[in-house]
C-alpha cells in the first residue's frame, strides 16, 4: 500500500509536466525523496529494501521517461501547429502554422538569399517509417555536390569531425575545451560567425535587445553553444548545445539530438548510419525520419537537408534567444511552413543551449 502511494505521488507529478523537456526530470524526481522518507519510517527491513529498490529504479529510468515523453510531445506539437500528421513529400498537408513574426520572416528571407554555401543535395526518401523497422534499402542522402564541401565553413566543420574531439555517450565526461579540441571548435565557430548569414542574424539580435557589442556577445554566444552540463542524472558533464545539435549524442540505446545534415552525411559515408524511413518531408528541404547510428536508434529526428551549417547555426541562435519554446520560431522557407523548437537551461557557464531543431 505504501509503495502504491509512492507511485501515485510520482504519477501526479508527471501529470503536471511542462512541455519543456529540460524541466521534466526534476518534476518526476521531486516527490521521490519526501515520499521515501514517509514510507520508510517504522517499516520493516524487507519493506525498506523494496522501497529503496523502487526509488533507485525510478532514478535510473528517469532519463528514459524523458526521452519517451519527448518523442510523444514532438509529434503532438506538430499536430497542433500543422493541423494533422502531414503527408509524404510536397507540402505534407499542412494546415495553419500559427502567427508568424514578419520581422523574423524578413530575416529568414535575407539569410536564405545570402547563403551562397547552401548545397543542392539529392535525397532518397525511400519508404514511410513503420515501427522501428528498416523500411528503406537506400541511404537517405543520395548525392552531395562535393564542391560545396570545399568552402570554408564546411572545411572547418569537417576538420572538427575528423578530429573526433567529442564523446557521444552523455554519461561520459567531456574532455576540457583546450588544445586541439579548442582549436578545431574555435575554427568552426569563427567560420560560422564570419558568414553573411550570421552577420544578418547578429544585427537582428542587436535590434531586438538580446545582443550587445561583439566582444561581450561573442562570449555569451560561445557559452550558449559550448557550455557543458549533464544529461545523465546531473553526474557527468557530458553534453553541450554544440555537441547535441552539430554532432549528436548517445543516451542509453538511443540517439539524442543530431540535427546536422553534414554530420549525418559523414556518418553515412563511413557506413555508420542505417536509414529506416520517413514520417514527413517537404520536398528535399527538411524532413522527419528514423535511423540508427551504430545501433543507437533515432526514433524520430530531422534537420534541414539543403541549408549550410552556418545558416543553421545563425537561425537556431536567433530562435533560442528571441523566440524559444516548442515551435517558438515560425516562418516560411521555400514556400514551406517551418518551425524551430529550442530550449535553454542554466549551466556553469550561465545560460546554455539544451536543444534546437527545425521541423516541417
Burial readout 109-132 (b: 16 or more C-beta within 10 A, e: otherwise): ebbbebbebbbebebebbeebeee
Closest C-alpha among 302, 282, 283, 261 to residue 149: 261
Helices (H), 41-151: 45-82, 102-114
Residue-wise pLDDT tens digits, 1-10: 444 444 444 4
**What cell does 147 get?**
564542391
pTM above 0.85, yes or no: no
Residue-wise pLDDT tens digits, 258-267: 999 999 999 9
Distance separating alpha carbons of residues 121 and 146, to the nearest angstrom: 10
Residue-wise pLDDT tens digits, 173-218: 999 999 999 999 999 999 999 999 999 999 999 999 999 999 999 9
Closest C-alpha among 256, 275, 293 to residue 129: 275
Distance separating alpha carbons of residues 46 and 276, to the nearest angstrom: 47
Counting residues of the chain whose pLDDT is more than 90, the rounded percentage is: 69
336-347/350-359 β-pairing: antiparallel
Phi, psi of 204 (to 5 degrees): -60, -45
Residue-wise pLDDT tens digits, 114-171: 999 999 999 999 999 999 999 999 999 999 989 999 999 999 999 999 999 999 999 9
Amino acid at each position: 500500500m505504501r509503495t502504491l502511494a509512492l507511485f501515485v505521488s510520482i504519477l501526479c507529478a508527471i501529470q503536471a509536466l511542462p512541455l519543456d523537456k529540460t524541466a521534466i526530470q526534476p518534476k518526476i524526481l521531486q516527490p521521490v525523496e519526501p515520499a521515501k522518507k514517509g514510507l520508510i519510517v517504522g517499516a520493516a527491513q524487507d519493506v525498506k529494501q523494496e522501497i529503496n529498490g523502487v526509488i533507485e529504479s525510478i532514478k535510473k529510468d528517469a532519463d528514459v521517461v524523458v526521452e519517451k515523453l519527448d518523442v510523444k510531445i514532438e509529434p503532438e506539437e506538430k499536430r497542433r501547429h500543422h493541423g494533422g500528421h502531414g503527408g509524404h513529400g510536397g507540402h505534407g498537408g499542412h494546415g495553419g502554422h500559427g502567427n508568424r513574426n514578419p520581422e523574423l520572416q524578413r530575416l529568414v528571407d535575407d539569410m536564405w538569399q545570402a547563403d551562397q554555401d547552401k548545397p543542392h543535395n539529392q535525397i532518397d526518401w525511400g519508404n514511410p517509417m513503420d515501427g522501428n523497422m528498416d523500411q528503406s534499402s537506400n541511404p537517405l542522402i543520395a548525392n552531395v555536390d562535393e564542391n560545396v564541401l570545399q568552402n570554408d565553413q564546411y572545411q572547418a566543420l569537417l576538420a572538427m569531425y575528423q578530429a573526433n574531439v567529442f564523446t557521444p555517450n552523455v554519461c561520459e565526461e567531456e574532455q576540457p575545451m583546450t588544445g586541439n579540441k579548442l582549436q578545431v571548435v574555435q575554427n568552426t565557430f569563427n567560420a560560422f560567425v564570419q558568414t553573411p548569414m550570421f552577420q544578418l542574424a547578429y544585427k537582428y539580435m542587436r535590434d531586438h535587445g538580446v545582443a550587445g557589442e561583439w566582444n561581450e556577445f561573442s562570449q555569451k554566444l560561445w557559452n550558449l553553444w559550448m557550455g557543458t552540463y549533464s544529461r545523465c542524472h546531473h553526474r557527468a558533464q557530458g553534453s553541450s548545445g554544440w555537441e547535441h545539435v552539430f554532432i549528436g549524442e548517445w543516451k542509453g540505446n538511443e540517439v539524442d539530438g543530431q540535427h546536422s545534415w553534414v554530420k549525418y552525411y559523414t556518418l553515412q559515408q563511413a557506413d555508420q548510419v542505417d536509414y529506416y524511413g520517413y514520417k514527413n518531408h517537404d520536398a528535399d528541404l527538411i524532413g522527419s525520419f528514423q535511423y540508427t547510428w551504430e545501433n543507437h536508434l533515432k526514433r524520430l529526428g530531422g534537420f534541414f537537408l539543403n541549408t549550410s551549417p552556418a545558416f543553421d547555426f545563425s537561425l537556431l541562435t536567433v530562435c533560442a534567444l528571441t523566440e524559444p519554446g516548442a515551435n517558438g520560431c515560425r516562418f516560411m522557407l521555400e514556400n514551406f511552413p517551418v518551425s524551430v523548437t529550442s530550449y535553454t537551461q542554466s549551466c556553469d557557464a550561465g545560460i546554455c543551449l539544451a536543444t534546437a531543431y527545425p521541423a516541417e
